[in-house]
Structure 1
């Protein structure tokens, strides 16, 4: 199976778990996707115009003008409707609250990587780690499935430290990692790494960084492509 076909299948099967309700917000873009986990369908209503929490441009509504193009005083009223600000924390909370199904293998691998590599980071920092893994899975240089990327030899220390790769107690941090994995795979938020395929902690200086292009610094990680 090609990377593109596999990627489409993964998005279709996992993004269904993203469900949002933004009070007083009109959806800008929506997709209906069906989960292969619980066979429930949800509506993805993510305003794509402001994927990083930026407010949308106000919608301007003007009355029709007279034939001579000179508006009457009563017709010159301009109504502006400002859309609410998207918030990553709210999206993560919504997905975590709604998600009840057991994740499949690839999603568990992704959630584990988020949890062990970045659970102390901001939500954006955790999302960034997930997106690096997904960017690798889409690149011919790496395995074409998430678990293959995560468990590639020598890449992520939690995979070879002799300890369980899923926490015994699945507390709030694990639930957030699951939600972020769902959001990342479902493309519910834009790539905050700018297509990065490498990252390292700020307290280390690997030699390979000299031949890579730095794309972002988020919390305790530096990202490259």
Structure 2
């Protein structure tokens, strides 16, 4: 897989799965939904990813022309706020979905989430996944998810002599799979602020001095 790691096939699969359970949370890369409107009609701007605690809501776009701004084709703006999107609910819904086995890249990502962060909050687990995806899109690292995860000396679970997928795939593994799907499908904002490094709070690697710290989430500190 090339640097278009979030290209058509993989992202489309993950985005479709998210859309099946939470249509409003489906990533659409900020596309405008136009729907054959006349000039001056309302355009809905759907965010590229859900922002924690912030609802989706229609955004009126004013036309520069001095024309009637009345919404057309039945669109209306409600005064009622949309419900806030909740990461736990999204993860739970995706985890409960029936689906086929994940492909190799998705299993590699789920394994990294599970072994590196299963004791962390859902945001902390998502952050680890997003670091891996950020690396896969950066020319400094390999082209695909598995190559990033299995790069020499990066993640201890890959060279500890133990299976990289748990024998018993319980609730924690299902959550890791769901978070992998959400991360690849860009179903949630990048909580790391484009980080490509992280370490546990109880260690102090030397490289941290030359990196920009972006977030501290639970037991991990993130850098770029």
2: distance between equivalents of 1:49 and 1:156? 27
1: distance between equivalents of 2:221 and 2:115? 17
Q: Show the 5 A alignment for 1:61-76.
A: none
**1:90 aligned partner:** 89
1:207 is aligned to 2:206: yes
SS in 1 for 2:147: helix
Do 2:136 and 2:144's aligned partners in 1 also have CA atoms closer than 8 Å? yes
**1:145 aligned partner:** 144
**Structure 1 residues 191 and 82: CA distance shift in structure 2, 3 A:** same
Do 1:58 and 1:81's aligned partners in 2 also have CA atoms closer than 8 Å? no
SS in 2 for 1:7: coil
- How many residue pairs were aligned? 190
2: distance between equivalents of 1:101 and 1:191? 26
1:109 is aligned to 2:108: yes
Q: RMSD value over aligned CA atoms?
A: 2.4
Do 1:27 and 1:47's aligned partners in 2 also have CA atoms closer than 8 Å? no
Do 1:59 and 1:82's aligned partners in 2 also have CA atoms closer than 8 Å? no
**1:3 aligned partner:** 3
**Structure 1 residues 29 and 123: CA distance shift in structure 2, 3 A:** closer
Name which one, 1 or 2, has greater alpha-carbon Rg.
1
2: distance between equivalents of 1:28 and 1:187? 10
Structure 1 moving runs of 4+ over 4 Å: 28-31, 46-50, 56-60
What's the TM-score, normalizing by structure 1?
0.77
SS in 2 for 1:199: strand
More strand by share: 1
**2:55 aligned partner:** 55
CA drift of 1:196 comes to: 0.1
Do 2:49 and 2:188's aligned partners in 1 also have CA atoms closer than 8 Å? no
**1:13 aligned partner:** 13
**Structure 1 residues 79 and 57: CA distance shift in structure 2, 3 A:** closer
SS in 1 for 2:198: strand
Higher RCO (CA-CA < 8 Å; seq separation 6+) = 2
**Structure 1 residues 79 and 181: CA distance shift in structure 2, 3 A:** closer
What's the TM-score, normalizing by structure 2?
0.77
Do 1:200 and 1:222's aligned partners in 2 also have CA atoms closer than 8 Å? yes
**2:163 aligned partner:** 164
2: distance between equivalents of 1:79 and 1:8? 35
